[in-house]
Amino acid sequence: MSIVVGFVPTPAGEAALKAGIAEARLRNEDLLIVNSAREGALVDKSVAPEELLEQAARRATEAGVQASVIQPPYQHDLADEFLDVARDANASLIVIGLRHRTQVGKFILGSHAQRILMQADRPVLAVKADGGNF
């Protein structure tokens, strides 16, 4: 079993990584760090640079956690693809970061995090960045 953490290069992504490392260490499980981009997208601000992903894996290793990084592309829906990764990895826990969004932003854009929370068939730990207001 493993802990799957959704990582993006943001304060919320950093909070998710930190919580994922702590949970993996507590449960004595491996950590799978997932950073995904829409297939064919020329620019995607959620894609972490390779050196940042290497640093994330190194931080886990230094904390005594076996970690690996994957960057599966998604075609249609990020939440569905992320949940597929968690199922395939037989994850005991999913860790995601939350960011503040306005009510209008939630209504118009939807929320990948909300869909993951509602549709996951396993426990989800949702964390917010330090100092975030909701």
- Provide the pairing of β-strand 30-34 with 67-70: parallel
Per-residue pLDDT, 59 = 97
Per-residue pLDDT, 53 = 93
Query: What pLDDT digit, counting tens, does each position of 63-78 carry?
Result: 999 999 998 877 678 8
Whether residue 49 has pLDDT greater than 90: no
Whether residue 85 has pLDDT greater than 70: yes
Considering only 60-69, 73-82, 90-99, 122-131, which range has the smallest mean pLDDT? 73-82
Query: What pLDDT digit, counting tens, does each position of 4-48 carry?
Result: 999 988 899 999 999 999 999 999 999 999 998 665 544 456 678
Per-residue pLDDT, 24 = 98
What mean pLDDT, rounded, does the chain reach? 85
- Record the pTM: 0.84
Q: Can you spell out the DSSP letters for 21-75?
A: HHHHHHHT-EEEEE---BTT-S--TTPPPHHHHHHHHHHHHHTT--EEEE---BS
Per-residue pLDDT, 42 = 45
Rounded Cα distance between 41 and 2, Å, is 29
